Homo-oligomer: A and B are copies of this chain.
Amino acid sequence: MQGMNFKKDTSAGYLANHMARLFASGLQRRIKPLGLSPGQFPALVALWAKEGRTQKELVELLDIEQATLANTLARMERDGLISRRASEEDGRVQQIFLTDRAKSLEEEAIGAALAQNAEALAGFSESERDQFLDYMRRAIAAMQSAETGSAE
């Protein structure tokens, strides 16, 4: 069977990958001047909302693996965005705090992310935008349940 029917622009997976890369590079362009990178964004958002969280708490909040977060946090510490303080009750745990610099970037950084989202959805009506977000949430939920899922 030669020439099976597979076109990249009709593949949801292909489009999702391409779209995500454009979101990331657009965000990067906007926040690089602030000394931030896209992968740090989710952790920053969680810490702007509440400091002193542990790595475990962040892993539960963000949809990434523990090892990925550990590396991201190491880069953030290196870049002067966070500091970590060992817990006294439990020697395995560290609480994570934002530096003054990281705190000072909240407004601009969130503005950049919102601007990037707006750029991507510029041609969308409000209801189209809502529907698009809903579709993405549904696709995510479907794949997550398949992940955990039962027999094939």
A residues with a Cβ closer than 8 A to B are 1, 3-4, 6, 8-27, 42, 45, 48-49, 62-63, 106-107, 110, 113-114, 116-117, 119-124, 128-129, 131-133, 135-140, 142-144, 146-147
Contact = CB atoms under 8 A, between A and B. Distances in A.
Contacts of A12: 23, 117, 120-121, 129, 132-133, 136
A1 B132 CA distance: 30
Nearest to A26: B143
A13 B123 contact: no
Given A121-B139, A128-B135, A23 B18 contact: no
Main secondary structure of the interface of A (DSSP, over half): helix
17 contacts: A6-B45, A8-B45, A12-B120, A12-B121, A12-B133, A13-B27, A13-B116, A15-B133, A17-B20, A19-B20, A19-B139, A19-B140, A22-B140, A23-B143, A119-B143, A120-B143, A132-B135
